[in-house]
Amino acid sequence: MNDNFFCEGVDKAPQRSLFNALGHTKEEMKRPLVGIVSSYNEIVPGHMNIDKIVEAVKLGVAMAGGTPAVFPAIAVCDGIAMGHRGMKYSLVTRDLIADSTECMALAHHFDALVMVPNCDKNVPGLLMAAARINVPTVFVSGGPMLAGHVKGKKTSLSSMFEAVGAYTAGKMSAEDVEEFEDHACPTCGSCSGMYTANSMNCLTEVLGMGLRGNGTIPAVYSERIKLAKMAGMQVMELYRRNIRPLDIMTERAFQNALTADMALGCSTNSMLHLPAIANECGIKIDLDMANEISARTPNLCHLAPAGHTYMEDLNEAGGVYAVLGELNKKGLINTDCMTVTGKTVGENIAGCINKDPETIRPIDRPYSETGGIAVLRGNLAPDSCVVKRSAVAPEMLVHKGPARVFDSEEEAIKVIYAGGIKAGDVVVIRYEGPAGGPGMREMLSPTSAIQGAGLGSSVALITDGRFSGATRGAAIGHVSPEAVSGGTIAYVKDGDIISIDIPNCTITLEVSDEELEERRRTMPIKHKEGITGYLKRYAQQVASADKGAIINS
């Protein structure tokens, strides 16, 4: 493979003159040009340390004989965007990130890339870009936040949101809420539970695109800086061996990712992102695959919000490799897949042990024999919907109750905070899907309000929107088709009985076909007014949630 594309030939003299303007020496121009995609900014806690990660990556690239050049990627903090119009701008950034990174990388003819993401849409957006660009690429994230401590117990952002719900329900004092506010998020990094950012950083490791520890080494540990240097050095090895993302992100690698997803109890958002990333690789992930894999994959981890362990605990227990090692004891992992280490998954996990059988349950003593996510179907969601089964109270795995229907998150939260939801209810929030929202907002505020009011074991919530990885309870999202597309959810009425059977993967609106047909004739679809700019274009182009909310080309 040639070194820097611009290093030789009179025809490239104009480009070299611009590299001179950058202060590059002739020696630097002869080396492979390595783009470092930096997600650093000063508004997202998960990204405020990325400048240090990037500097370490640059050093690693230079030590290994490359010429590093940094360019940016945007990132939205879902926690800060939560509960207001800002959340409409979260999922939509995934495609902006992929598109802008593709443009920068190909316009400047980089020989290799190191992606430095951390938060929810940033990670999948850059994985999508890596597949499109397909030059040697390594991922190194900013790392997870350490858990907070309140009243002697570890805590995290999900507890903070639930504290607000408890206060509104009269179950917690303002002083107690303030204690959570001051101590729930104590360091930089992606929020400390198995929420979407950490789910995707762990799955990046499983896919083979990140080095060991990418998903779990805390942001504030010096080990994270070492990992960044190693990533910079390793991308040069991939360059020399011409190992590219499409050599790594194969169909068998995505099978591994879905399997690890089930074992780890990842965020339901992975059911949006993995299909979207696979699509860029020319691979189709049918959501029925998720149930097939779940049926044979034990759930080994109950990290927050499902339980009381955190990313720092998973790291100490041996991290993602230890989980893969447990799964491999029953032959559930494709060990022949290539990774950015230059070795196979099997070579990587050889000798890795589970150091904490309470954080990572042994394969013969799982939390459950089936995986942490379930895909449901029925007349309410003919094309599927998704629930984080591992975070559902046992008594809510099968539930039947009357619908309480709302046409927006704001309508629902107002009634929940006012005490208008009762035990047994099924809260339905519609017109929040990818096109109908637009932007498919996360519903952490209403689910946390339900939990905080003590209704988590008696009330379900169903939406064509989605849920934060911090959500727990019978929270069923991604209902497809969505309301604005004429899905059944658009025709649910207050008082309709909805039956949920998570073990059997079914969801049913107990209304006759004849009555539904009559409602389709008489109930108009609602379209939001005043949608402009990027959101308007997004709403016109986005596919449904069961397709990964990809942009239709």
By annotation, the residues acting in catalysis are 468
CA nearest neighbour of 267 among 170, 367, 124: 124
For residues 265 and 141, the answer to whether their CB atoms sit within 8 Å is no
Rounded Cα distance, 450 and 249, in Å? 39
Q: Could you write out the three-class secondary structure of 234-245?
A: HHHHHHHHCCCH
SS (H, E, C) 65-109: CCEEEEEECCCCCHHHHCCCHHHHHCCCHHHHHHHHHHHHHHHCC
CA 204 to chain CA mean position, Å:
10
The answer to whether residues 335 and 346 touch, using CB atoms and an 8 Å cutoff, is: yes
Reduce the secondary structure of 200-219 to three states and give it as a string. Answer: HHHHHHHHCCECCCCCCCCC
Identity (one letter) of the amino acid at 101? T
Helix ranges (H only) for 108-170 are 122-133, 157-168
d(C-alpha 293, C-alpha 431), whole Å: 31
Specify which residues 377 forms β-bridges with: 506
Give 384's strand partners: 480
Asked if 209 and 278 touch (Cβ cutoff 8 Å), the reply is no
Nearest Cα to 138, choosing from 203, 209, 33? Answer: 209
Residues 295, 291: Cα–Cα separation, whole Å: 6
User: Of 226, 210, 237, 224, nearest to 66 (Cα)?
Assistant: 237
Give the closest residue to 136 by CA, choosing from 67, 239, 229. 239
Residue type, 413: I
Strand partners, 429: 406, 463
Task: For residues 475 and 469, give the distance between their C-alpha atoms in angstroms, rounded to a whole number.
Answer: 11
How far are the Cα atoms of 133, 228, 396, 429, 433 from residue 101, in angstroms, in the given order? 9, 20, 43, 34, 26
Give how far the C-alpha of residue 518 lies from the chain's centroid of Cα atoms, to the nearest Å.
39
Write the CA distances from 245 to 5, 34, 129, 138, 207, integer angstroms.
20, 15, 10, 9, 10
To which residue do tokens 């044979």 refer? Answer: 296
Q: Measured between alpha carbons, how far is residue 227 from residues 210, 212, 351 in Å? A: 10, 8, 20
Within a 10 A sphere around the Cβ of 73, how many other Cβ atoms?
A: 25
